[in-house]
Amino acid sequence: MPRLAAGLVANDDGQVRCWWCQADDQYRAYHDTEWGFPVTDDRRLFEKFCLEGFQAGLSWLTILRRREGFRKAFAGFDHEQVARFNERSVQRLLQDPGIIRHRGKIEATINNARRAAELVEEFGSIAAYLWRYEPDSAKRPKKLTFELVKTFVTSPESIALAKDMKQRGWKFLGPTTLYAHMQAMGMVNDHLHGCATRPLVEAARAATARPAPKG
């Protein structure tokens, strides 16, 4: 096999992947089937907002390994149900070993569920609100290298989104976290050129209808 560009790894299954998913098989599966593929489903978008809030100070793999526990604890991330959680719910969650037991993050998740309901009321869906901030692909690099992607910590769009969400009362979601959300939910394709998944994500993005706000 020709020498791979920096940031690419060839695994035993013959697939060339981005460097960051090498920790275990679960992480590689996440890279291959989820990360970067466009998402317009509100429940999945809300889940990712919540899990990214819990990730603060931790690795994404730590959260990924507990994702099923989080789903069970937070009603499958149905924002309408989570919005009805109360102090008794908080106490229950603080005793749940399947999640990260951090009061501030738990309370932020409940708060954010209520804010999500407000977005749905105003825009028709969380997706319709969020995808308005999709970066312009024409302004992005033609070839995504390891050196470039390491500099992608925020974007003008994630900064604007964070500012707006903060004004709307969302918690634990700053510009860096929201750029990671854009990467994961397919609002950008940050798989490196040469990664086997990159063209699959690009095709999925091309085929995805962007949700429009109501009215």
The CATH number that applies at residue 127 is: 1.10.340.30
Whether residue 213 is contained in a domain is answered as no
- The pair phi, psi for residue 8, each rounded to 5°, is -110, 145
The average confidence (pLDDT) of the chain is: 95
The one catalytic residue in 60, 129, 170, 179 is: 60
**Residue 1 pLDDT class (50, 70, 90 cuts):** low
Is residue 179 in some structural domain?
A: yes
One-letter amino acid at 25 equals D
Q: How many domains does the chain have?
A: 1
Range(s) of the domain holding residue 112: 8-207
Q: Which amino acid is at 120?
A: V
Is 104 part of a structural domain of the chain?
yes
Given this model, what pLDDT does residue 143 score? Answer: 93
For residue 26, give every residue at least 6 positions away whose Cβ sits within 8 Å of its Cβ, in sequence order, or none: 61, 64, 65
Asked whether residue 109 is assigned to any structural domain, the reply reads yes
Domain assignment present for 3: no
Q: Is residue 82, in this structure, part of any structural domain at all?
A: yes
Q: What percent of the chain has pLDDT above 90? A: 91
Residue 215 reports pLDDT greater than 70: no
Tokens of 6: 């920096």
- Is 30 known to be catalytic? yes
Report the candidate in 205, 155, 193 with the shortest Cα–Cα distance to residue 40.
Answer: 205
Task: Specify if 36 maps to a domain.
Answer: yes
Residue 187 CB-density burial (10 A; 0-12 exposed, 13-18 middle, 19+ buried): buried
Catalytic residue among 19, 20, 30, 118: 30
pLDDT exceeds 70 at position 35: yes
Mean per-residue pLDDT, 168-190: 96
pLDDT tens for residues 108-167? 999 999 999 999 999 999 999 999 999 999 999 989 999 999 999 999 999 999 999 999
* pLDDT over 90 at 214, yes or no: no
Q: Is the pLDDT of residue 88 over 80?
A: yes
52 assigned to active site: yes
| Per-residue confidence (pLDDT) for residue 57, from 0 to 100 | 84
Q: Enumerate the β-bridge partners of residue 18.
A: 8
Which residue type sits at 138?
Answer: A
For position 175, what pLDDT does the model report? 96
User: Which of 27, 52, 129, 131 is labelled catalytic?
Assistant: 52
Reduced to 3 states, what is the DSSP secondary structure of residue 187?
coil
Q: Is 121 a catalytic residue?
A: no
Residue 215 maps to a domain = no
